[in-house]
Structure 1
Amino acid sequence: MWDFETDADFQLQLDWAGTFVRDVVEPLDFVLGNPYDKSDERSLAMVRPLQKEVRSRGLWACHLGPELGGPGYGQVKLALLNEILGRSRWAPSVFGCQAPDSGNAEILAHYGTPEQKARYLQPLLDGEITSCYSMTEPHAGADPTLFKVRAERDGTDWVINGEKWFSSNARYASFFLVMAVTDPEVSPYEGMSMFIVPAETPGIDIVRNIGVATEPPGQVSAAGVREDHGYVRYQNVRVPADHLLGAQGQAFVIAQTRLGGGRIHHAMRTVALARHAFDLMCERAVSRRTRRGPLAAFQLTQEKVADSWIDLESFRLLVLRTAWLIDKHQDYKKVRKDIAAVKVMLPRVLHDVAQRALHLHGALGVSNEMPFMSMMVTAEALGIADGPTEVHKITLARQVLAQYTPVDTLFPSGHLPSVRERALAAFAEHVDHEAAQF
């Protein structure tokens, strides 16, 4: 049975969240600092009562199951909620589902020992600390099989050496999840491990914090992107053996558990960002007047609005369908091509809608007094994050093509003369062969 309606009880929750985010949370974006800076007591003092209110509504950390303090919502409900949260850079922190902490919490919950969960997972779930996912490396691009960061066993410790690139929130993190080569003699898929590295461990050197595009390092853009990515050097960083996350050689499995959900969550919040650009576009179209009438009366404006609505609604439906498939199968591998399609469509839709909105705003649109330039930069960043668009296109195409079988005939199956001959042979008793020629 197909159903495009949200159940009434959850719709009430969404209605409350929409009003709460619009009236209470969104203004925080303009008066508070970085949501990941847990040393900012002024910001935390303002946010903690809001988090308490979210908890009282049962909307805290909705991606987690009841055993971890969340309601255990499926991906469809998460998608609908994230359409709202994506409007504000502070909203995910207020609702306890900010990235990368949400993904890091997920893998700690799956693979962490009781001791690791008590020390790192619980304060992360409580919103008391920030974490960093330190995976990519400067030379490796999108290919983790080229990683060089090494972790070598030395007695009861592991010693980590090497450099990581774009480790988000490194400067604010209480701990790092570091992916490192532990056995270079086997396949990278079996020779890498994941480590929990406390931020105070000697040998961690944040070479610099990197901004995106023209934003100063550490600044948060109008579109909500965290321009705070660490270039981190690990120099003889020594961690106890009990800080290995999961089993030795299991890093790839752990990473995929995290990335599958992360990609769909990026898409959910991008729907909100693109919707904001679309709303601003339409408001501009009906408000701005020229000598010949409002912008909305011009066909080129109408084309921009129509194309944007189609792009946005198509993308939203693809995201929701993919979320539904994840809920149905409970296996990211079975939805791999759908997640890849979402990841491919995500940056294009956000970029195109934001660009059309920018054009309708003229010089104001390219200024830093409107969010469109930042949105377009965000689109480019999202086209690289969690694997570049090109890689996901390859994944999608390979999975789709694997469903087809090659023909062993001279002409393809759609060859009309061949199809006609087969049809005539099948209905020879009932069809006049001469009359059927066309």
Structure 2
Amino acid sequence: MRQAKFHNGDALTSADVKFTFDRILNVDGSVAKSLFTDIDHIDTPDDRTAVFVLKQPNVTILPYMASANASIVSQKVAQANGNDLSKKEASIGTGPFTLAEWVPDNYMLLQANKDYFIQGLPYLDGVRINVVPDQAGLVAALRTKAADMAIIEDARAAQSVRQEEGITLDARPSPNYNLLFVNTARKPFDNLKVRQAISYAVDRQQIVDAVALGEGDVTGPIAPALTQFALPTSQYPSYARDVDKARQLLQEANVGPIEFTMLTETSEPAYAKDIAQLVQQQLADVGIKMNIELLEFNQWVDRWLKADFDMAPGLNGGQADPDYYVFRYFTTDGNLNFVTSYKNETASDAIKQARSTTDIVRRKQLYQTVQTELVDGAPFIWLYVPRDYIASLNTTRDFVHIPTGNISYLRQTWLDK
């Protein structure tokens, strides 16, 4: 282990590493739990050595350990705060910046960590992260130089930034994906043919063109950026819009007139309403009436966590390994399986096997099974992967854009002013 210090000056030790992963595995509601369930136990022979003993081989665990979900926390600080890491005083890490101020839903002020374990970094004395509620506000902040950098969600805002002098827009294919969550525990979505009919009725390319202004790629269960594993969407029959086929499936389903509500968030992503309105129009073509219920994002999350919805648009995060796209939702014991209540033993078994083998050819075969099973079962209606946009003033230097929302390279960013 590196000789690193927490922001309060305490040394990071193997005890903190063990505490962090034990906490992930044992705290109720841990969203990262399923990423690490193959950990049997962790030994700490000395302060700078942590030995992870696994129940079985797991080829995904190393990239998961490098994710934000596995950030090491101070055992002393966490326990002193009742294991509640949402408190400002519990926000103690070992990164390049310390948390100086935090006003939820407003701003966060970070200061340089003078004891950062990479010598000479960070270059910046501090970083202020402002929460801007609308994309137009981000563009205005850049235009007036009130901001040096912005994360852009909406393709229309990105297009506007491109027209501005003195601003650079970096657009990269995102591993994140837009989708429709389908609650298979609710009628009529417990009927496979209804879900398949919706898949045939949705025009994914029209959504890409209208919402993302063409800057996106239609996707299946694994993002196209993972070229080694992702099947071409041309291999999925239901991805070629076919209104007649959709109507035929609905007739075979024999569930009568269909009316349901799309639970839609007002942000994250900002364009969720646009997706919902297009899907509403497309489903009307096959005789399905879809209502739209708009909620603030926090309210939407509360309902989503209770699986209290018929259908809902979402933007899910992606990673470099295909396991991240499928394990949590589509293994029968995955910690997010409750969201759609979808069970498919064939897909679940293939996902688990793919996690435990280093044979790339075998992994590819297994993930082909997973993708075809899931698209056919339609517990999600996968739509498209967007572009990940970072806009910055030309005076902002050496930031490295990682298209997962990762901003760790602020540590080496500097301002040419």
TM-score by length of 2: 0.25
Q: Which has the higher contact order (CA 8 A, sep 6+)?
A: 2
Rg larger for? 1
Structure (1 or 2) with the greater helix fraction: 1
TM-score by length of 1: 0.24
